[in-house]
C-alpha cells in the first residue's frame, strides 16, 4: 500500500522520513476551519478534511491502493486557539503571551484509505521559559516561524521551552507514536 502525506509541512515529512516510511506528498487544498472553542474538534475536523480532499483527488485519478495521512496541529492557550501568525507583530505578541506560561499542543490525525478510516488525537503540554524581547526578536529573525501554529517550532534550537509533557513529535506536528502502529499494520 502506498502512503500519501496530505501536507506540505517539511516537519511532518522529516518525521516520516526519520521513522523510515516511504511516502509521497500531495498537498491538500482543504481550507482549515477554526472559530470553535474546542481545539480537539477543530484539529480532528481539519485532519479529516485534509485527508478526504487528497483521497478524493487520488481516487478520481484511479490511483492504486493507497492511504492518506491528514494532520492538523493546534496551539491552545487560556481557552484561545493560537493559529499561524498573520505577520511579525502577531508572532511577537503570540510569543509574549506564551512566555512563562503553560499551553496545550493538540494534533488531530486521520489515516484514510479504501476500506480504512482511523481518526485520533494527541495532546502535549508545553511550558515556556520567560522570554526576553531580544530573544523573541532574534528567534523571529532567524527562524521565521510564520508557517507554524503558535509562532514557534520546538525543534528550532532556541531556548523557548522549559519542558514538554507528552510527545515532542506531537508538538512538532505529527504524533508518530500514535501513527506508527496504524501505518505498520496497513503496510504489512
147 neighbors 164 (Cβ within 8 angstroms)? no
Q: Are the beta carbons of 25 and 8 closer than 8 angstroms?
A: yes
Say if residues 97 and 151 touch (Cβ distance below 8 Å). Answer: no
State CA 110 to chain mean position distance: 12
Number of residues assigned to the chain: 188
CA distance 61 to 133: 51
Rounded Cα gap, residues 6 and 49, in angstroms = 10
Q: For residues 69 and 182, what is the distance between their CA atoms, to the nearest angstrom?
A: 11
Measured in Å, how far apart are the chain's first and last C-alpha atoms?
Answer: 9
Q: How far apart are CA 51 and CA 178, in angstroms?
A: 17
Catalytic residues: 72
Amino acid at each position: 500500500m502506498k502512503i500519501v502525506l496530505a501536507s506540505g509541512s517539511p516537519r511532518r515529512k522529516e518525521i516520516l522520513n526519520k521513522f523510515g516510511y516511504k511516502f509521497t506528498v500531495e498537498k491538500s487544498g482543504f481550507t482549515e476551519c477554526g472559530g470553535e472553542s474546542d481545539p480537539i474538534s477543530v484539529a480532528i475536523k481539519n485532519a479529516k478534511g485534509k485527508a478526504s480532499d487528497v483521497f478524493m483527488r487520488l481516487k478520481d485519478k484511479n490511483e492504486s491502493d493507497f492511504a492518506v495521512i491528514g494532520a492538523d496541529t493546534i496551539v491552545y492557550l487560556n481557552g484561545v486557539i493560537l493559529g499561524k501568525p498573520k505577520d511579525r507583530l502577531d508572532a511577537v505578541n503570540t510569543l509574549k503571551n506564551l512566555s512563562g506560561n503553560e499551553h496545550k499542543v493538540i494534533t488531530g490525525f486521520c489515516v484514510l484509505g479504501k476500506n480504512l478510516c482511523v481518526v485520533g488525537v494527541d495532546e502535549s503540554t508545553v511550558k515556556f521559559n520567560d522570554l526576553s524581547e531580544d530573544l523573541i526578536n532574534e528567534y523571529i529573525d532567524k527562524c521565521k516561524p510564520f508557517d507554524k501554529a503558535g509562532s514557534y517550532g520546538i525543534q528550532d534550537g532556541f531556548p523557548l521551552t522549559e519542558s514538554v509533557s507528552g510527545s515532542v513529535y506531537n508538538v512538532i506536528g505529527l504524533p508518530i507514536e500514535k501513527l506508527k502502529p496504524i501505518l505498520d499494520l496497513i503496510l504489512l
